Amino acid sequence: MLKIHDLTILLVEPSSTQRKIIINNLETAGVDKVDGVESGQRALEELEKFVPDLVISAMYFEDMDAAKLIHSMREKPELSSVPFMLVSSETRFGMIDPVRQAGVVAVLPKPFEAADLKRALDNTINFLEPDELELENYDATEIRVLVVDDSRMARKFICRTLTDMGIQHITQADGGDTAIDILKDSYFDLIVTDYNMPEVDGKALVEFIRSSETHLHVPVLMVTSEQSRAVLNNIEQVGVSAICDKPFESDHVKQLLMQIMK
């Protein structure tokens, strides 16, 4: 079984001082296999030579930002599933959300607490070596799931997480309007949807589901990077079964699915 001390990490941080601080924190957590580079281009060059278990990245470099780096990685088949962790003092939703949408195992603030780093490293291990979903009344291999997200990368990340749990029958929709068209002709045991989508957002999609006799009782897991409590309360009121943050922790998703599939 993979342990924290087994992890190989590529750290992308333009500040040599910050690189040393993060490496020291990783060593304290039990990680001793860390290579550090100062730019996005250097990171991509290193990734061509060796694929690590995890990439930890700052938000901004001289040549690009973390969003461009992770999108470049996700476009390469050999790097598309490499876990990515963002460490940044950036708090603006519009800057961080593109990174979240591309699929990350954690977003840590600068400075971060040791417990936050430990949890993020544990989530990386769960992503790399997931446990299958064990449900009382369902066979995970028979569950039919509809994944709805306008971000192709986010869909891929969610599908990878579900597949690793043993779920095999997954249909994808690139927006709420597409999902509604699919739901008119198909039935699913579970729907996993994003909230922020153009045309038909997650709230409108859930309203359609809850007004449909066919899908009225289908569990809906909302996966969102939305931070507004008012918005989240509004989502809860339309009838979602559970809400999960982006980025999500694999163990948390598994617990939510076990709960809502009862």
Please tell me the predicted confidence (pLDDT) of residue 237: 76
pLDDT digit string (tens) for the chain, length 262 residues = 788 999 999 999 999 999 999 999 999 999 999 999 999 999 999 999 999 999 999 999 999 999 999 999 998 989 988 999 999 998 888 888 888 888 888 889 988 889 999 989 988 888 888 777 676 667 778 889 999 999 888 888 888 888 888 888 999 999 999 999 999 999 999 999 998 888 898 889 999 999 888 888 899 998 887 766 677 777 777 788 888 887 777 777 878 887 777 6
* 118 in the same domain as 18: yes
* 150 in the same domain as 113: no
* 244 in the same domain as 172: yes
What's the domain range around 102?
A: 4-128
Contact assessment for residue 221 and residue 191, using Cβ atoms and an 8 Å cutoff: yes
Measured CA to CA, the distance from residue 233 to residue 52 in angstroms comes to 39
* 161 in the same domain as 233: yes
Final residue before a domain boundary, out of 77, 101, 128: 128
* 155 in the same domain as 116: no
Final residue before a domain boundary, out of 98, 128, 158: 128
* 114 in the same domain as 153: no
Element (H, E) at 18: helix 16-29
Please tell me the predicted confidence (pLDDT) of residue 171: 96
* 148 in the same domain as 123: no
Residue 47 lies in a domain: yes
In our burial notation (b when 16+ CB lie closer than 10 A, e otherwise), range 229-249 reads eeebeebeebebbbbbebbbb
Residue 220 lies in a domain: yes
* 92 in the same domain as 184: no
Contact assessment for residue 175 and residue 152, using Cβ atoms and an 8 Å cutoff: no
| Amino acid at the residue 104 | V
* Total domains, the chain: 2
Residue 135 lies in a domain: no
Half-sphere exposure of 212 (CA within 13 A, CB side): 18
The C-alpha angle 42, 104, 31, rounded to 5 degrees, equals 65
**Residues in a beta bridge with 107:** 86
* 162 in the same domain as 93: no
The secondary structure of 42-98 as a DSSP string is HHHHHHHH---SEEEE-SB-SS-BHHHHHHHHHTSTTTTT--EEEEES---HHHHHH
Please tell me the predicted confidence (pLDDT) of residue 136: 65
Burial class (CB in 10 A: 0-12, 13-18, 19+), 188: buried
Q: Which two tokens stand for residue 48?
A: 């061509």
Q: Residue 111 belongs to a domain with what CATH number? A: 3.40.50.2300
* 82 in the same domain as 24: yes
Contact assessment for residue 156 and residue 103, using Cβ atoms and an 8 Å cutoff: yes
Residue 133 lies in a domain: no
Contact assessment for residue 121 and residue 170, using Cβ atoms and an 8 Å cutoff: no
Contact assessment for residue 43 and residue 84, using Cβ atoms and an 8 Å cutoff: no
Final residue before a domain boundary, out of 101, 128, 155: 128
Question: What is the CB neighbour count within 10 angstroms for residue 125?
Answer: 20
Reduce the secondary structure of 224-246 to three states and give it as a string: ECCCCHHHHHHHHHCCCCEEEEC
